[in-house]
């Protein structure tokens, strides 16, 4: 089931709890107003080269709702912020599992970079025209044919895996060579864990939904790297969703 953003819960306001460098912010944004520019300021990246992780999680740390996607955890304010972070980024980076599970759509003018060992991108909702214009798939040479079969028109770059995984230094270098320097990693868990394990996440943007999700749903990604993060508890919306920015120390 794909839930349209217009059918999601719709908070009316966003109360700013703190901002970067100001832990005593007192500001309320009425979400029916034109507040996108203020949200862009609140989520601005501090450096030209920046890698964010952006996810939503439930109270029991699950990342999907009853339908198996994040749609039934999210709300319209969360999706608005997701859209703005994407617009401020040069590329959205995801794994093939996310493309299949979330039935991925076009990311508009922002490039979509898919990291996959198998090349199986079935289940997406991206047209050939959009794939040609703004999708880059990093995959092994022997997976290019499967990419062409399951996402016709997508641009491909062959990267050979090491121990079964594509080296992220080569993925990031490939994006930088194309002028894509502001990156947001949206999933899946294996890819985010690899970014965390290699110390390549500068910031985590995390929304916490005030609901419990099924125990069978996948959890937030883990890491054995030990990176600690400085938390900015950014905002709470009128439905009780909490918005956080966490910066790698």
In order of their start, the domains of the chain are 47-230 (3.40.430.10)
Tens digit of pLDDT for each residue in 108-165?
899 999 999 999 999 999 999 999 999 999 999 999 999 999 999 999 999 999 999 9
The chain-wide mean pLDDT, for the chain, equals: 94
pLDDT at 244 exceeding the cut of 60:
yes
d(CA 131, CA 155): 7
The pLDDT tens digits of the residues spanning 177-186 come to 999 999 999 9
Residue 227: pLDDT band with limits 50, 70, 90:
confident
Give 165's DSSP letter: B
Strands (E), the chain: 13-16, 27-30, 50-57, 91-95, 111-115, 135-139, 155-158, 182-187, 203-208, 229-237, 242-248
Q: Which of 11-25, 61-75, 200-214, 216-230 tops mean pLDDT? A: 200-214
> pTM of this prediction?
0.92
Q: Between these two residues, 224 and 176, which has the higher pLDDT value?
A: 176
32 contact partners, CB below 8 Å, separation of at least 6: 12
Report how far residue 98's alpha carbon sits from residue 113's, in angstroms, rounded to the nearest whole number. 12
């Amino acid at each position: 089931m794909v839930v349209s953003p217009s059918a999601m819960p719709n908070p009316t306001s966003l109360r700013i709890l703190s901002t970067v460098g100001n832990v005593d912010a007192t500001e309320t944004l009425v979400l029916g107003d034109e507040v996108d520019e203020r949200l862009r300021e609140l989520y601005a990246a501090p450096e030209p080269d920046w890698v964010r992780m952006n996810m939503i999680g439930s109270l029991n740390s699950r990342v999907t709702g009853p339908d198996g996607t994040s749609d039934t955890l999210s709300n319209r304010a969360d999706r608005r912020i997701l859209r703005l972070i994407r617009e401020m980024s040069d590329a959205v980076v995801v794994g093939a599992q996310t493309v299949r599970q979330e039935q991925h759509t076009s990311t508009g003018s922002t490039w979509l970079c898919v990291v996959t060992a198998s090349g199986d991108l079935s289940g997406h909702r991206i047209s050939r025209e959009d794939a040609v214009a703004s999708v880059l798939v990093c995959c092994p040479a022997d997976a290019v044919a499967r990419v062409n079969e399951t996402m016709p028109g997508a641009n491909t770059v062959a990267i050979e895996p090491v121990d079964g995984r594509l080296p992220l230094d080569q993925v990031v270098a490939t994006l930088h060579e194309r002028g894509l320097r502001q990156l947001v990693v949206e999933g899946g868990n294996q890819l985010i864990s690899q970014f965390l394990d290699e110390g390549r996440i500068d910031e985590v943007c995390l929304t916490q939904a005030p609901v419990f999700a099924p125990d069978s749903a996948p959890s937030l990604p883990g890491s054995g790297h030990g990176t600690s993060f400085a938390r900015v508890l950014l905002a709470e919306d009128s439905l009780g969703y909490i918005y956080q920015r966490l910066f790698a120390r």
